[in-house]
């Protein structure tokens, strides 16, 4: 099922308001508070792996975890799950911190790393061995997999499962001391190889990995597995509600088993609650695939504005407020569904319609000479900074004899219903005068070089009597003398198909080869000194942002964040 923007508009539960929208997780918290389960305490966490940049799916989890903590006067921890040193880098840590801050959330003193707990995790592993609940296995990964069984067939015990406690302790300590090669030994939880839940069939909880860790250096050559680390980290931080996506539902019995075995040394047992992850059309959510796009040179890095990473959507022009609105609008449920990209885009339009000043840009310029306009003359026209916000005032748009209009605002042989400039037709220059076509100048190839027109000096917008002359067409323009050149990047969706990785096919075959177009355009002179990340509505063209990296004083670079309306279905 795909949920589209039109499916949500008439649903009161998705309308933005100052009150949080109810969902099943809030209901659980309300009931916990009612019965005093956590003494009214709400403590959540967001636990990213520092092996890539966060994407829009993570934003849903960030808004949920931090939002719940905020609404219940609780605490949300930011904890890095840094248990896989071969894939983790400090640059990913930095990017994650930056993205969470950009979304407007603050973890305060509650910044943690799983590596903070490596000593404790090791101690607890020895405790499990002492209790006869863990053992060292010499089988290879392939042999373990072969004995694990299937969904319909029970697993088989490892021949090393019945080692003595003293033998297991000795081997585990020697693993820690670096006596064994990578892959030769693992520590496994001793649970039940016949369990219908494969996650409980003696899962590996420690493996040998000689890899430099970005925080602990070369101190450790054994590293704990996620399922073992995560629940203990939650407990040590006294998390109350451990929220994760549905793929971890089958892991919850293991989460609870580990904490039950350690209840005499780990005194908190958080509640794991699963919710449906975000599935967004025209994107891929797999971090592995995002890495392939970056490392394969198919995009311009992690912050390419076509990427669904938070760094990418930020550079594209999305606002934190639009992401919050999106997270609120799609809600939280237990049912998997697909959210149509149009919902995310419309949240941005809704936000920027209120906050973005209006400006004029001519993206595909056509030269127009106003024959009867005085030579070397110019005058000021006035345009509102926002049509619905008079308090924002007006700005000056200078006019001179030669102007630029959009190429598609002139048609030599107009089609039916075309009301812009054409032979025999008058149009109004927005905020200025009515002009009338005179003739067209072409080169030897028949290509249009310039248009000649005349103007009616009695029709200036805002003057007495100017509106008596009525014309159907109204086009935007810029004075050639005053317009500033700017580099403009027109972005579209990165993939042509709504489900680019459906059915296990090659998602790269669905790449939209025309998702990025760079042009030289003309903009209002005031935009020459635009600051990075300033946002505007370019009239008729959409919402644009000054690129946060490439914009320099006198050299503006604009990225189109979104068009004024969803034209994707019509253009593909």
287 in catalytic set: yes
In the DSSP assignment, the letter for residue 22 is P
- In 37-100 the beta strands, taken as DSSP E runs, fall at 43-46, 75-80
Distance between CA 367 and CA 541 in Å, rounded?
A: 19
Distance between CA 109 and CA 78 in Å, rounded?
A: 9
121 Cβ contact partners less than 8 Å away, ≥ 6 residues apart = 224, 228, 229, 232
- Is the CB of residue 110 less than 8 Å from the CB of residue 75? yes
Active-site option among 277, 355, 367, 508: 277
- Is the CB of residue 401 less than 8 Å from the CB of residue 457? no
Active-site option among 287, 395, 428, 460: 287
Distance between CA 156 and CA 361 in Å, rounded?
A: 69
What pLDDT was estimated at residue 6?
56
109 in catalytic set: no
What pLDDT was estimated at residue 13?
39
- pTM metric for this prediction: 0.92
Tens of pLDDT along the chain (572 residues)? 666 655 665 444 344 444 567 899 999 999 999 999 999 999 999 999 999 999 999 999 999 999 999 999 999 999 999 999 999 999 999 999 999 999 999 999 999 999 999 999 999 999 999 999 999 999 999 999 999 999 999 999 999 999 999 999 999 999 999 999 999 999 999 999 999 999 999 999 999 999 999 999 999 999 999 999 999 999 999 999 999 999 999 999 999 999 999 999 999 999 999 999 999 999 999 999 999 999 999 999 999 999 999 999 999 999 999 999 999 999 999 998 999 999 999 999 999 999 999 999 999 999 999 999 999 999 999 999 999 999 999 999 999 999 999 999 999 999 998 999 999 899 999 999 999 999 999 999 999 999 999 999 999 998 877 777 889 999 999 999 999 999 999 999 999 999 999 888 899 999 999 999 999 999 999 999 999 999 999 999 999 999 999 999 999 999 999 999 875 554 43
Q: How far is CA 175 from CA 144, 178, 182, in A?
A: 18, 5, 9
What pLDDT was estimated at residue 462?
85
Beta bridge mates, 245: 275
Domains detected in the chain: 2-118+229-348 (3.40.50.620), 125-226 (3.90.800.10), 359-482 (2.40.240.10), 486-571 (2.40.240.10)
What pLDDT was estimated at residue 204?
98
Distance between CA 526 and CA 404 in Å, rounded?
A: 17
451 Cβ contact partners less than 8 Å away, ≥ 6 residues apart = 366, 367, 368, 369, 405, 410, 421, 437, 439, 440, 441
What pLDDT was estimated at residue 14?
41
416 in catalytic set: no
Active-site option among 26, 37, 49, 126: 49
Number of residues that make up the chain: 572
313: left (phi over 0), alpha (psi -120 to 50) or beta: alpha
398 Cβ contact partners less than 8 Å away, ≥ 6 residues apart = 378, 379, 380, 381, 479, 481, 482, 525
What pLDDT was estimated at residue 18?
47
């Amino acid at each position: 099922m795909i949920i589209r923007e039109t499916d949500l508009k008439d649903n009161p539960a998705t309308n933005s308001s100052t009150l949080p929208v109810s969902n099943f997780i809030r209901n659980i918290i309300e009931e916990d508070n009612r019965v005093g389960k956590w003494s009214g305490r709400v403590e959540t966490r967001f636990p990213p792996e520092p092996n890539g940049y966060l994407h829009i799916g993570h934003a849903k989890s960030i808004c949920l975890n931090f939002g719940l903590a905020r609404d219940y006067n609780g605490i949300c921890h930011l904890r890095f799950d840094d248990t896989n040193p071969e894939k983790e880098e400090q640059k990913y840590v930095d990017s994650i911190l930056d993205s969470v801050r950009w979304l407007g959330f603050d973890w305060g003193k509650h910044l943690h790393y799983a590596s903070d707990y490596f000593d404790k995790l090791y101690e607890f592993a020895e405790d499990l061995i002492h209790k006869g609940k863990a053992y060292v296995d010499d089988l290879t990964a392939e042999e373990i997999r072969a004995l694990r069984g299937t969904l319909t067939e029970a697993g088989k015990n490892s021949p090393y499962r019945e080692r003595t406690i003293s033998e297991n302790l000795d081997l585990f300590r020697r693993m820690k001391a670096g006596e064994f090669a990578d892959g030769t030994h693992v520590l496994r939880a001793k649970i039940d190889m016949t369990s219908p839940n494969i996650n409980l069939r003696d899962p590996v909880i420690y493996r040998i990995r000689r890899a430099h860790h970005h925080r602990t250096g070369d101190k450790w050559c054994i590293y704990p597995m996620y399922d073992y680390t995560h629940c203990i980290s939650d407990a040590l931080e006294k998390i109350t509600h451990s929220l994760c996506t549905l793929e971890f539902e089958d892991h919850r019995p293991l989460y609870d088993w580990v904490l039950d075995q350690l209840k005499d040394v780990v005194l908190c047992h958080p509640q794991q609650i699963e919710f449906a992850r975000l599935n967004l059309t025209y994107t891929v959510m797999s971090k592995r695939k995002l890495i392939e796009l970056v490392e394969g040179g198919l995009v311009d890095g992690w912050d390419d504005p076509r990427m669904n990473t938070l760094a990418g959507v930020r550079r594209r022009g999305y606002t934190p407020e639009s992401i919050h609105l999106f997270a609120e609008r799609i809600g939280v449920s237990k049912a998997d569904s697909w959210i149509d990209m149009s919902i995310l885009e419309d949240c941005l339009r809704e936000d920027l319609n209120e906050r973005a000043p209006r400006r004029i840009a001519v993206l595909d310029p056509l030269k127009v000479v106003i024959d009867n306009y005085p030579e070397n003359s110019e005058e000021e026209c006035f345009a509102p900074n926002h049509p619905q916000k008079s308090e924002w005032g007006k700005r000056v748009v200078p006019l001179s004899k030669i102007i630029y209009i959009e190429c598609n605002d002139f048609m030599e042989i107009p089609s039916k219903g075309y009301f812009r400039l054409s032979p025999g037709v008058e149009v109004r220059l927005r905020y200025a005068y009515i002009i009338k076509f005179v003739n067209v100048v072409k080169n030897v190839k028949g290509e249009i070089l310039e248009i000649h027109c005349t103007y009616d000096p009695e029709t200036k917008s805002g003057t007495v009597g100017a509106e008596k002359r009525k014309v159907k067409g109204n086009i935007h323009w810029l004075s050639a003398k005053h317009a500033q050149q700017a580099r403009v990047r027109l972005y579209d969706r990165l993939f042509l198909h709504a489900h680019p990785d459906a059915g296990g096919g090659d998602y790269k075959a669905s790449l939209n080869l025309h998702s990025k177009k760079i042009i030289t355009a003309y903009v209002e002179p005031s935009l020459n000194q635009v600051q990075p990340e300033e946002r505007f509505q370019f009239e008729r063209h959409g919402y644009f942002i000054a690129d946060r990296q490439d914009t320099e004083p006198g050299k503006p670079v604009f990225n189109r964040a979104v068009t004024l309306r969803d034209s994707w279905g019509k253009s593909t």
